[in-house]
Amino acid sequence: MKNFTIVFIILTLAAFSAFKIYRSSEKIVLKVVRANILQIDFNNNKITDNNETVCVANLETFSTNLQYSQEDLTQKLALKPEEAMSLGFLTDKFAEDFIINRKVRVKFTGNQTPECRYANVYVDREDYAERIYKNGFGRYNGKVSDKFRKNLETARKIRLVILNHHSNKYHKTTCKYGLIAHDAIVIQPKDLPDNAQPCKFCHIEAKRKTSVKRQNTAVNIQPAPSQITNGSIEFLLTDLTTKLKPDNTCSSQVCKTILREINSAHSTIDAAIYGWDSVPALETAFANAVKRGVKFRIVYDETTRGMSYYPDTQKLVALSSEHNNDKCADSAATNSIMHNKFLVIDGQKVITGSMNYSETGLSGFNANNLIVIKSKEIAELYTEEFNQMIEGKFHTAKNKSLLPRTYILGRSKISVYFSPQDRVITNQIINLVNTSRQYVYIPAFLITHEGLSQALINAKKRGVDVKLIIDATNSSSSRSAVWRLRNAGVPVKVENYAGKMHSKSIIIDNKYIVTGSMNLSNSGEKKNDENTLIIEDKRLAEFYRDFFLYLWKKIPDKYLNQNVRAEGKDSIGSCTDGIDNNFDGKIDSADAACR
């Protein structure tokens, strides 16, 4: 009996060890390039690196990915090109729904190409290629299943178009101009932007009919209003889905608003900005203000090596009568930044929000908000904060203000907080999320703050509608809370446009807007120089809510389950915008993901 017990324990431990080894060999599928090409997280860093692309052995599939030719398979199965594309649409969706974020085991065959390594892929001991084959979505070992023809009949009823983001024209799926487009995707007509134009070569006969049908089906993603004035507050938003290339022409409404306020300054302009990109119209306006006797002061971010993130910053500094930056020999402050983006005009107005004074911000290329507040009292509070920095007190060296924090402006109640003194996420924002009843919507550059992430999970569990749109740049970083939130059932979409989702905002219950320069991170709350507003105003909150939901509809639902490269074919416009979107030193076609 004793020997039996020992043997039983040994066998149990062996089985447990074998199970652990089996589970540890499983890896997460990050992306479906096409149904037979998967990107798998072998090194567990939640981003796709070199040598993590796997081609599924002996499996041939159709796809809407225009990067790959499917002419050979189309001919083998005696299909029309448009039938192959529609089958690809169904196949991509089936594969993404089935395998994205699933754990898989991979058995390499030993064959490989410069693009990928060939392997058999298993999901819960089931052969992934067999699953695709049995459901009629692929040719496996030279055969198709009985369901293939049924799927083909369904595919023939689907209408698709190719949208070229660079030209904003849409094509039939057989159009040679659409198929060779550098920055294009295949979508259904109902998902076309309202201002997209038909290709005159492939839609010339049915141009009018097609245009009318498209407008009727696209009604759900009509652009939302992007500007509202409510008494003493002017609130502006920028749309990253419509501006696909930055410029310095100052043609956007946010830039024109800042230009108007600089031109109207009589006595003082205090600027606390992260950095500066040359925008000629604004640069001239600052110079003219100084010429007419306006006192211009500026504080900005600089590293301990005397470098600024934006190389034109010194051009603006040269116009100022007083300036300072947060360069500090204190090693405790070297990782902190002066991240504010505010102006105080004549001690009467404050211009603030999430927008950097850069081409990507001022042109409306990035998604941002800009707020103009007419209030002497709020301007006094911001001036006090500015004065500490102009005198050399940055980051944790600043003192907490004794002035009032909350002000009533017409129908709006505004509370002002500064980082790192006020610990605003811990002391204010989490409480707003904890007491939310209807919804919490967050358009934000990133989210890494653990306490806020847990508050959002708790809100979702008690029935609150929680949704987040996060920028692609940081969505896969090891610190990002995106996967934690998704795994807890919180819907998080990663934007798929060239511009950044640069907002740092929260909208709650048709009542509150939280916004400013602070990212939703520990650094934003506890290290950097930041300013945050909590605005209580029903009309403004509903305005921002509608804009958020408009963006939510424009971003495909598949990005609820997978992330997007900041620069690559899936990121609309990123391969033609002239910007290094993922900060790897390579722009557009020089980046491998765009080729």
Q: Which residue numbers are catalytic?
A: 502, 504, 509
The DSSP code for 566 is: S
DSSP-based three-state secondary structure for 400: coil
**CA angle centred on 496, ends 490 and 497, rounded to 5°:** 135
d(CA 87, CA 90): 5
- Quote the radius of gyration of the chain (alpha carbons, Å): 27
DSSP-based three-state secondary structure for 575: coil
Tokens of 155: 């595919």
Could you tell me where the DSSP H helices lie in 33-141? 71-76, 81-99, 128-134
d(CA 60, CA 73): 7
d(CA 533, CA 530): 10
d(CA 136, CA 351): 58
Tell me the one-letter amino acid at 560.
L
Tokens of 559: 């990005």
Burial class of 310 by CB neighbour count within 10 A (0 to 12, 13 to 18, 19+): buried
Provide the CA 269 distance to its chain's centre, in angstroms.
32
- Do 333 and 339 meet the contact criterion of CB atoms below 8 Å apart? no
Tokens of 121: 């892929």
| Inter-CA distances, 271 with 197, 299, 345, 389, Å | 42, 6, 9, 11
Residue with tokens 């939901």: 549
The DSSP code for 205 is: T
Could you tell me where the DSSP H helices lie in 498-590? 522-526, 538-554
Reported as type and span, the H/E element at residue 385 is: helix 376-390
**CA angle centred on 372, ends 370 and 373, rounded to 5°:** 135
The DSSP code for 419 is: E
Phi and psi torsions of 529, nearest 5°: -80, 115
Residue with tokens 């060890």: 17
Burial class of 4 by CB neighbour count within 10 A (0 to 12, 13 to 18, 19+): exposed
Strands in 197-198's sheet, in edge-to-edge order, are 184-187, 161-164, 169-172, 197-198
CB atoms within 10 A of CB 595: 12
d(CA 178, CA 169): 9
Beta strand pairing status for 169-172 and 197-198?
Answer: parallel
